[in-house]
Amino acid sequence: MTGTRFEKLSAATGYAALLCGIGAVALERPWPSTTNPAALPVFLADNHAAILGQSLLFLLSAGFSLWFLGSLRSHLLAGRPVPGGSR
């Protein structure tokens, strides 16, 4: 990968984090009341795939966020003048 293409991909990870977060929120289901503990196993069995999908999307969102923040830091440090340098 060329440097410019990688930098564009790194910038796009911010959007990917946002989209994964929105997708995870879209999979949110209302949890049962704590006053009825017998409803929790039924809820988990009924919404197993949605809960796993939501967890996966939040995990991907966190990874993309860290990648974006690392890329942002690198980009900002690249434009910073070097102490004692001619930049």
Q: What is the pLDDT of residues 15-61, one digit of tens each?
A: 999 999 999 999 998 988 889 889 999 999 999 999 999 999 999 99
Distance, in Å, from the CA atom of 65 to the CA atom of 79, rounded to the nearest integer, reads 21
pLDDT in the model for residue 86: 58
| pLDDT score recorded for residue 85 | 59
pTM of the model: 0.77
Sequence-distant (≥ 6) Cβ neighbours of residue 23 within 8 angstroms: 57
Q: Report the pLDDT averaged over residues 2-7.
A: 70
Does the pLDDT value for residue 1 go beyond 60? no
Question: What size, in residues, is the chain?
Answer: 87
